[in-house]
Structure 1
């Protein structure tokens, strides 16, 4: 199959009252695991590559983007390619040529007026390049520049401000701060479902939940019912991969060939993807 635009997957999910899951790709094995899990679940999926992942690959987006695109093209279900958490405008401007159909421009650390101006300019460029653009308003916990707690006063997304922000920037989707945190290793986050509903009613673009690895299954299902349409997952894959690698090396300390332990890590990530797709995609 060929890659499909992120917009198409998000719109289909919204029309069906479901969410589409977007999983972070760091290595080729991540992309392969996500594709395998999506095929097992028979659900569409978004492969997303963050600015941090690009930095890990020496600042070169092309190789990992092309690898993910090849995996997505060979997948038996619909796959989209998304560039995530971009703060560097120069990286954003490579997105279309690198094969992405969408990007998330992250000006969330800036004061509101600066965030709005930067995001408006990013939207103008992205739409001119044929890209669907996601942005963020409010601080999702767990990022270095965010307050320490996702429950700190003033960090959650205000519905009235969100409505103005979407209207003034023209963004295609909005990541909202509703109680989740990035990089959580336990699924203990408590989401504000009433706030999600208020945001859904106030904002006429799809809502995105970041930091979903720390959200339990029931909380995720409730969030989707309340109005979340795109669910981002990253840390959960890394936990699964690292646990499997560690267990394999502990059981076989003589191993020098990476394929047995990397392969086991990939299998475990694929199972995590399959399970989470069943939760968020119905």
Structure 2
């Protein structure tokens, strides 16, 4: 069933688990992540990032995911991830996405607030939930060790003020993870996360889950993270499942293997995130 993320993430917060935000980039990835949710009988956020819309369009994704969600008993949210362009975020809302992320994390604080507030107002009128980011999760090549330089990390004060001023439904925080493949060793600032979780009432989100380490991610979930984004590891799994014997195999069989790799990868992360079915007592 297709749902928005408000009750999904509030249940995760109450149950002390996280829902995976699985990024999709083609039909095989959509079928793979939804297949994992079905086999585990657990909730899922299917995420389309703005940077992937040239290959997988907004309207196209909405139609495909709505079809599979209608056929599924599990709660499935359709989320527009890392929306930088307001026009595209509104397009996603109008196309039937049930959740959107406004990414103004690279902007000055006041500009991030204003940009986010505009989308919150538009989305909430249509029953769509909004995620935003304060602090900045960079790419693997720009990973910052919080022991050396914490200028990109979320502060408790900014997190509290940003949530108050914008009215967002969930908040992505930067505690040392990075997008893409890591160029260094991830060191997560758990003390910072605990302080933020103690002061911010809305569900907290962690981006850059791929490669951050299973133990690190489970600990982050126990400290209050309610959703973890996974993208790079899904792509790596698809590649690894098709790498051996690729030249001797049909393209059709390779697509099937890629889908299987994505499904198995996400099933693993369901365990790492301690995900539960909210309908099961």
Kindly indicate whether the alpha-carbon contact (under 8 Å) linking 2:131 and 2:172 is maintained by their aligned counterparts in 1: yes
Where do 5+ consecutive residues of structure 2 fail to align? Answer: 276-281
| Aligned residue among 198, 204, 207 for 1:201 | 198
Q: Which residue in 1 is equivalent to 2:54?
A: 55
Aligned to 1:134: 131
Residues 200 and 115 of structure 1: CA distance in aligned 2, closer, same or farther (over 3 Å): same
- Alpha-carbon shift at residue 69 of structure 1 (Å): 2.1
Aligned to 1:10: 9
Q: Distance in 1 between matches of 2:254 and 2:184?
A: 25
Does residue 1:217 correspond to 2:245, yes or no? no
Match of 2:175, SS?
Answer: coil
Q: Where does structure 1 lack aligned partners over 5 or more consecutive residues?
A: none
| Residue number in structure 1 paired with 2:251 | 258
TM-score (norm 1): 0.91
- Find the counterpart in structure 2 of residue 176 from structure 1: 173
- Which of 228, 236, 241 in structure 2 is aligned with 1:239? 236
Provide the alpha-carbon RMSD of the alignment: 1.8
Alignment correspondent of 2:118: 121
Equivalent pair of 1:156/1:176 in contact (CA under 8 Å): yes
Deviation at 1:42, TM superposition (A): 2.2
Matches within 5 A, 1:90-105: 90-105=87-102
Which of 112, 117, 141 is the matching residue for 2:109?
112
Aligned to 2:279: none
Query: 2:107 & 2:177 partners in 1: Cα distance?
Result: 20
Please say if 1:167 is aligned against 2:164: yes
Contact 2:145/2:186, CA 8 A, preserved across alignment: no
2:265 alignment counterpart: 272
Shift of 1:171: 0.9
Residue number in structure 2 paired with 1:87: 84
> Kindly tell me: are residues 66 and 115 of structure 1, through their superposed partners in 2, closer, same or farther at Cα, counting changes over 3 Å?
same
CA offsets, 1:48-97, max 9 Å, x none? Answer: 1110111333xx31112211222222234221111110011111111232
SS in 2 for 1:55: coil
Report which stretch shifted further, 69-78 or 43-52. 69-78
- TM-score w.r.t. the length of structure 2 is 0.92
